[in-house]
Amino acid sequence: MKSHTDVCMVVMNQLWNDARVKKEAQTLSDIGLSVTIIAQPEDDCPDSEDWGDIHVLRVREAGSLKKSFRRMLDTYGGDKDCTGTGLITALRRNPVKRFLGDFFHSTLHQIRLLRHALATNARVYHAHDLDTLAVCAAAAWINNGKLVYDAHELWLESRRHLLETSRPFMILEKLTESLLAPIADAVIAVTPGRADVMREMYPTMAVPDLVVNYPPLAPAAPRQQDVRHKLGAGKEPCFLFLYQGILGLHRGLEELIDASVLLRDIPVHIAFVGHDRSGGVITQYAEEKNAGDMVTFHPPVPSEELSEITGSADAGLLLFQDSCLNHTLSLPNKLFEYMMSGLPVIACDLPEISSVLHRHDCGILVDASDPSSIAKGMRQMVSDPAEAKAQGERGYEAASANYIWNRSASVLHELYMRVLEEELQSPSVGDTQ
């Protein structure tokens, strides 16, 4: 590992399809800062490598102590002749034990991340989301560095936090953000609405800088017949709708599947591309609804390859539901990726998203909780291909003029000059980053 870096970024996920982290790191490198990214391991990728001037370090979660702890529980928990078998088994099944075990494992990993972060001796520690804030804050304090809190979402108002997090961890996460966000040297938000909510939650926190997850400027990708065929378009003519992103609950995907069976009388197909975070619920739902002739599911692809898939569709789908404040105030990067690829959009009628569609007339708003409303919007788009094409063209023009990464890169540049209190070279004004 490098003995010194200007910026140490920490993220609790893999990098291969995290376009935002890669764009931010490249921007910081472009303005003359050395960058180290600490992330999770990836199959067939080394634990340490360099992407040009960016150093990538992948830290494995399972340390030797954690493995020994698990092995001890498995060994003694399954040994019928062991005196403590009953106690071990009870502990393994006890919810308190599960929390303590999860906390123990999480703490071990946080310590490992902290050790690697400290070794960079960075001038700035850049925390990507709440789950890395404690590590970056500790490293900044110990190494007398600066702290940047990059809140990709309203973590405490997200579905994951509200419905999937145990009560003890909810308390810990709330305590972490309430204590550390106000002491960050700079805070980043991704939408105006989320920035306003964060300021209300933490009045003494630095005013958030708005770094929206815009795509790089690019020409609209041509539709490729072989890609369309792989996505399930099959026999042409076929109007191919695309949903790209996480397959999760409360994203309107079950309703979309219900809508698909209402469209069997017209030549349409729906392709889902992304990580399945529903535990198979979405794909199982499609099977139960006998929608296999209308929808297909495809694995995620690296962010650098996504535009080829997006550009081969006829329209994009964005159907978040108003199930939590994080969704209500969302402005997903897929919206701008669809627009940059020249696709008209079928979208949910939520404030930030509807504002973009109303402003540029680049799609159709629907009630994402109502399959008949989704089907009606899709049918309307298919019935008027000339207008759909015009919507896509208006969306591309708007994206090219207003929603490009260069705008966010400029905000990031100003933020880092302020935090480091020094002049930095301007980011390149190219068409990629």
DSSP 117-132: HHHHT-SEEEEESGGG
Q: Report the domain count for the chain.
A: 2
Can you give the pLDDT at residue 86? 56
β-bridge pairing 54-58 and 48-51: antiparallel
Can you give the pLDDT at residue 273? 97
> What is the CB neighbour count within 10 angstroms for residue 179?
13
Specify whether the CB–CB gap between 247 and 253 falls below 8 A. Answer: yes
Q: In the sheet that 345-348 helps form, which strands lie side by side, from edge to edge?
A: 295-298, 268-273, 239-244, 315-318, 345-348, 363-366
User: What is the three-class DSSP state of 373?
Assistant: helix
- Claim to verify: residue 415 and residue 394 sit in the same structural domain: no
Please report, for the domain that includes residue 335, its CATH number.
Answer: 3.40.50.2000
Can you give the pLDDT at residue 98? 58
pLDDT tens, per residue, the chain with 433 residues? 445 899 999 999 999 989 999 999 999 999 999 999 999 999 889 999 999 889 999 998 755 455 555 555 555 544 545 555 555 555 555 565 555 556 656 788 899 999 999 999 999 999 999 999 999 999 999 999 999 999 999 888 877 776 677 788 888 999 999 999 999 999 999 999 999 999 999 999 999 999 999 999 998 778 899 999 999 998 889 999 999 999 988 899 999 999 999 999 999 999 999 999 888 999 999 999 999 999 999 999 998 899 999 999 999 999 998 888 888 899 999 999 999 999 999 999 999 999 999 999 999 999 999 999 999 999 999 999 999 999 999 999 999 999 999 999 999 999 999 999 999 999 875 544 4
Cis before 237 (ω within 30):
yes
Beta bridge partners of 244: 273
Q: Which element (helix H / strand E) includes 49?
A: strand 48-51
Specify whether the CB–CB gap between 145 and 139 falls below 8 A. Answer: yes
- Claim to verify: residue 150 and residue 241 sit in the same structural domain: no
Task: Mention every residue, 6+ apart, whose C-beta is less than 8 A from residue 206.
Answer: 184, 185, 186, 187
**Domain range spanning residue 341?**
225-402
Can you give the pLDDT at residue 431? 45
- Claim to verify: residue 145 and residue 193 sit in the same structural domain: yes
Specify whether the CB–CB gap between 125 and 10 falls below 8 A. Answer: yes
Angle subtended at Cα 286 by Cα 283 and Cα 288, rounded to the nearest 5 degrees: 110
- Claim to verify: residue 50 and residue 183 sit in the same structural domain: yes
